[in-house]
Amino acid sequence: MIIGSIINQGTYSAKFQTNSGTIYQDVDSTNDYGGCEIVFTAYVRAGSASQNRLGINDGQSTTYGSYHTGGSSFEQLTVSKTLALDEDKIRLICDHSNTGTAGYFDGAMTCTVTALTIGVQTAHSEFNDNLYQSFGAVLAKLNSTTFDFVAVMPATITDMHVMNWSGTDYLYIGQGDSDDLIYMTTAELLTSSASNERAYFFTGSPTVLYGVKQAGGNKVRKATAVDTWADVTLVGNGYENHTDLLMAPDNNIIIGKENIPYYSDGTTDDQNPLMAHFKSLTSSTTCKNSLQAFGATYIQGGDQTLYEYQGTTGSAVATQTNISPANFMSGLSDFNGKIQAIAADDVYLYGVLGSVNLIPDPGFETGVTEWTAVGSGVTWAQSSEQAYSGTYSGKLTRNGTNCRAYYSLPNYADYAGRTVTFKMRVYATVASRARLNINDGVGGSFSSYHTGGSGWEQLTVTHTVNANPTALQLRGWIQDGDTSAYFDDAEFNAVEIMAGQYETVSGVTAWRWHGSLAEITLTGCEVAYVSNVTKKRLYICSTAAGEDMYYLPVTTKYGDITSDSDYTWQTGGYEVTPW
């Protein structure tokens, strides 16, 4: 290879003469891009077809792009490669095959990492003194207050679990039925299961790791070595999916399904209903996010049920107590009551309830008077001409000047500094006219425009509220031309967080819930957990991809909360807590 004078741009190119050969550059050797897609682009010139091409090597294999077509002119060639999870380099290759003619490689050469798709925050695990969190297929690691990228898995991560085999720690990463499970060392080296094992959920004892998968009859499987698996049992029927898996205090396995929680001692074909009455609570989320805490098992079911199971699994004297927050209140229109996730520290059980839509009459079925119209000549009315759901929508018409209709949240100060999301279904016949807006009195954010395709589109706007808001308005908006648009099914969802424990009052010991500790604008809560990594926090993960992940400081000083450095206090203010 020599410096060439035939160029695409600049002064020089890389020239291969008539001999075969390659040149390469290693642009990374950190093992930081496992699972990522890398794209390498360059301009290439060849006198003959099938002579010059580009390649990428990740230390495990090489992928080549298509050849130059010949014809003695520069063509832009591209090659892309999804790197192996155990990649140890990114090597960019210019490859020349000997056909008796020269080949030229020139700029602009680029190497890019395809943007990551951030999915739902489904799974987490503390491993090697770090907190790992999944975001769809992306595995990330906590760095104080943000998460750093670790790797991209082939499919969405469904669960993670730590296991030690012969003195070596591994983090097992499940991807459901979509792809083989992966295990990771403390050095963050990733290996796919050589036995092609797959799992949705994990649990384990010190000597056995259990996993469940839906395909093949919803079987429980167990490993007795790093990647040695065998069947344990088919639990219940084959069509009710598993929703969770955990170990009971007596080392029996508790297997959550959509209809009933079961238990097993881990031997073949041993499985029994733990709480048979749950069959009346059958739903896709029954038993999801089950938890072991305070020597008991906590399992939610149906719409508003949360049970505490105390005692040996299957014992006739075990106690089963419904401690759902719904048992302690009634007649509250803004109370959803569905337990979406539970978590615990050393004192309290935390329940995440919701989600509640904070916009009254979001489909305008009783009118539009909760909303205020602004703009000279504007009309705003309930309409049956178009409706996404129900019978009516809100029809906004621009007549000469830009206009809006807005709902004003009454407790806007509670959202100071928080990131909030507002969604609506919008129908429009003209492009780039109708969109959504959130305004906090200091500033605002807009959604994308409706495309004008004479159909319903869900528009979404996200906004970080000013630290000192003077309002919080959720707006439907029309601008830059007279037209009408229809708005329906407004969403400003929130989840509520409560804390519960057994307390003795006037000599009577009973379960009591305290709250609301916080109300967070989320579509819903996928999972919640308490971690002491960095600081003691209650993490709240959204059911919607792309929404923020939240945390609440949890005190380490229940007897002296005001001296806890994790807490900040407004001057002249106060905080009501369950402590």
- What pLDDT is stored for residue 1 in this prediction? 54
Question: Is the pLDDT at 290 greater than 70, yes or no?
Answer: yes
Q: By C-alpha distance, which of 427, 411, 406 is closest to 519?
A: 411
Write out the H or E segment, with its range, that includes residue 491: strand 484-491
Read off the pLDDT band of 528 (50, 70, 90): very high
Tokens of 553: 């400081």
- What pLDDT is stored for residue 30 in this prediction? 77
Average pLDDT over residues 386-397: 97
- What pLDDT is stored for residue 574 in this prediction? 52
Confirm if 379 and 391 have CB atoms less than 8 A apart. Answer: no
> At which residue do the structure tokens 């001999």 appear?
19
- What pLDDT is stored for residue 272 in this prediction? 87
Ramachandran class of 455: left when φ > 0, alpha when ψ lies in -120 to 50, beta otherwise: beta
Confirm if 286 and 243 have CB atoms less than 8 A apart. Answer: yes
Ramachandran class of 47: left when φ > 0, alpha when ψ lies in -120 to 50, beta otherwise: alpha
Sheet holding 124-127, edge to edge: 124-127, 130-135, 138-143, 146-152
CATH code matching the domain that covers 2-113, chosen among 3.30.2270.10, 3.40.50.720, 2.60.120.10, 2.60.120.260: 2.60.120.260
Question: Do 156-321 and 372-491 agree at the fold level?
Answer: no
User: Among residues of the chain, what percentage have pLDDT more than 90?
Assistant: 56
Read off the pLDDT band of 356 (50, 70, 90): confident
Read off the pLDDT band of 326 (50, 70, 90): confident
Write out the H or E segment, with its range, that includes residue 485: strand 484-491
Residues 6+ apart with CB under 8 A from 369: none
Q: Percent helix, strand and coil across the chain, each rounded to 5?
A: 5, 50, 50
Q: Report the alpha-carbon distance of residue 291 to residue 281 in Å, rounded.
A: 18
CA of residue 531 relative to chain centroid, distance: 18
Average pLDDT over residues 8-25: 86
Read off the pLDDT band of 570 (50, 70, 90): low
Q: Report the alpha-carbon distance of residue 28 to residue 286 in Å, rounded.
A: 46
Q: Report the alpha-carbon distance of residue 306 to residue 315 in Å, rounded.
A: 20
Q: Report the alpha-carbon distance of residue 85 to residue 191 in Å, rounded.
A: 7
The one-letter code for the residue type at 264 is: S
Q: Report the alpha-carbon distance of residue 68 to residue 71 in Å, rounded.
A: 9
- What pLDDT is stored for residue 516 in this prediction? 73
CA max distance for the chain? 97
CATH 3.40.640.10 at 156-321, yes or no: no
Read off the pLDDT band of 357 (50, 70, 90): confident
User: Among residues of the chain, what percentage have pLDDT more than 70?
Assistant: 94
Question: Is the pLDDT at 43 greater than 90, yes or no?
Answer: yes
Read off the pLDDT band of 394 (50, 70, 90): very high
Read off the pLDDT band of 316 (50, 70, 90): confident
Q: Report the alpha-carbon distance of residue 176 to residue 178 in Å, rounded.
A: 5
Question: Is the pLDDT at 578 greater than 60, yes or no?
Answer: no
Beta strands in 325-443 (DSSP E): 339-344, 349-357, 372-374, 379-383, 393-397, 403-408, 419-428, 434-439
- What pLDDT is stored for residue 108 in this prediction? 62
Read off the pLDDT band of 575 (50, 70, 90): low
- What pLDDT is stored for residue 486 in this prediction? 98
Question: Is the pLDDT at 191 greater than 70, yes or no?
Answer: yes
Give how far Cα 447 sits from Cα of 296, 360, 461, 463, Å: 46, 21, 4, 10
Q: What is the pLDDT of residues 96-129, one digit of tens each?
A: 987 678 889 998 677 777 777 788 999 999 999 9
* Bond preceding residue 454 cis, omega within 30 of 0: no
Question: Is the pLDDT at 337 greater than 70, yes or no?
Answer: no
Domain locations along the chain: 2-113, 156-321, 372-491
Confirm if 286 and 338 have CB atoms less than 8 A apart. Answer: no
113 versus 506: the higher-pLDDT residue is: 506
- Continuous H helices in 335-380: none
- What pLDDT is stored for residue 555 in this prediction? 85
Question: Is the pLDDT at 32 greater than 80, yes or no?
Answer: no
Four-residue CA torsion sign, 256, 261, 266, 268: negative
Q: Report the alpha-carbon distance of residue 270 to residue 255 in Å, rounded.
A: 12
Q: What is the pLDDT of residues 457-485, one digit of tens each?
A: 999 998 889 999 999 999 999 999 999 99
Residues 6+ apart with CB under 8 A from 113: 33, 36, 37, 38, 39
* 280 phi and psi angles, rounded to 5 deg: -75, -10
DSSP-derived secondary structure letter, 279 = G
Question: Is the pLDDT at 328 greater than 80, yes or no?
Answer: no
Q: Report the alpha-carbon distance of residue 233 to residue 269 in Å, rounded.
A: 4
Question: Is the pLDDT at 34 greater than 60, yes or no?
Answer: yes
Q: What is the pLDDT of residues 203-262, one digit of tens each?
A: 998 888 999 987 766 788 899 899 999 888 778 777 788 999 999 888 889 999 999 999
Read off the pLDDT band of 563 (50, 70, 90): confident
Q: Report the alpha-carbon distance of residue 266 to residue 258 in Å, rounded.
A: 20
CA atoms within a 13 Å half-sphere pointing along the CA-CB vector of 276? 4
**Neighbour tally for 572: CB within 10 Å:** 5
Question: Is the pLDDT at 297 greater than 90, yes or no?
Answer: yes
Give me the CATH topology for the region 372-491. Answer: Jelly Rolls (2.60.120)
Q: Report the alpha-carbon distance of residue 424 to residue 461 in Å, rounded.
A: 9
Q: What is the pLDDT of residues 443-464, one digit of tens each?
A: 999 999 999 999 999 999 988 8
Question: Is the pLDDT at 492 greater than 70, yes or no?
Answer: yes
Arithmetic mean of pLDDT over the chain: 88
Q: Report the alpha-carbon distance of residue 118 to residue 125 in Å, rounded.
A: 18
270 versus 245: the higher-pLDDT residue is: 245
